[in-house]
């Protein structure tokens, strides 16, 4: 199963990459801020973790965006596709499994269950 890290800049992204490097687990890194994220990938991650978890509600950019004031699923998805800087990163995806942010306990469970 291919592991993907949708990354941006920040310490959580660096820690996530270090976690997998230390365990010699191959992954594909996608710079979301440079290349964006596909609609199907975003929907897959949203199905795994929930749409509200994807939004970086702490960021100034999110608080100033329309997304902070809507509950419409399609509007939120389209907004995140247009402005990937509103995503909470890193997004780590392995098939239908996904996490948002730095989640070493979850990743360790995936490894123990041989999901990765």
- 44-68 confidence digits (pLDDT tens): 999 999 998 999 999 898 999 989 8
Q: Which whole number is the average pLDDT over 79-85?
A: 94
Threshold 0.85, pTM exceeds: yes
Residue 26 has pLDDT above 70, yes or no: yes
Interatomic CA distance for residues 5 and 91, integer angstroms: 6
Structural domains of the chain, ranges and CATH numbers in brackets: 3-112 (3.40.30.10)
pLDDT in tens, 83-114: 999 999 999 999 999 999 999 999 999 999 98
- The closest of 108, 113, 3, 99 to 45, measured between CA atoms, is 99
CA distances for 27 relative to 8, 20, 63, 75, 94, angstroms:
15, 8, 32, 30, 9
User: Tokens representing 106?
Assistant: 């979850």
Question: Is 110 in contact with 97 (CB distance < 8 Å)?
Answer: yes
Average pLDDT over residues 16-28: 96
Residues 6+ apart with CB under 8 A from 41: 4, 6, 93
Measured CA distances, 14 to 32, 55, 68 (Å): 14, 19, 27
> Strands 91-94 and 3-7: what pairing?
antiparallel
pLDDT of residue 2: 85
Percent of the chain scored above 70 by pLDDT?
99
């Amino acid at each position: 199963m291919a592991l993907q890290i949708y990354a941006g800049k920040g310490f959580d992204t660096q820690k996530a990459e270090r976690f997998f490097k230390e365990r010699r687990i191959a992954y594909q890194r996608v710079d979301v801020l440079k290349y964006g994220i596909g609609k199907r990938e975003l929907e897959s991650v949203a199905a795994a973790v929930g749409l509200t978890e994807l939004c970086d509600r702490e960021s100034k950019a999110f608080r100033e965006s329309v997304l902070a004031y809507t509950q419409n699923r399609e509007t939120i998805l389209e907004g995140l596709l247009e402005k990937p800087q509103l995503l909470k990163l890193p997004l780590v995806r392995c098939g239908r499994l996904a996490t948002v942010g730095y989640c070493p306990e979850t990743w360790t469970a995936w490894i123990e269950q041989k999901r990765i």
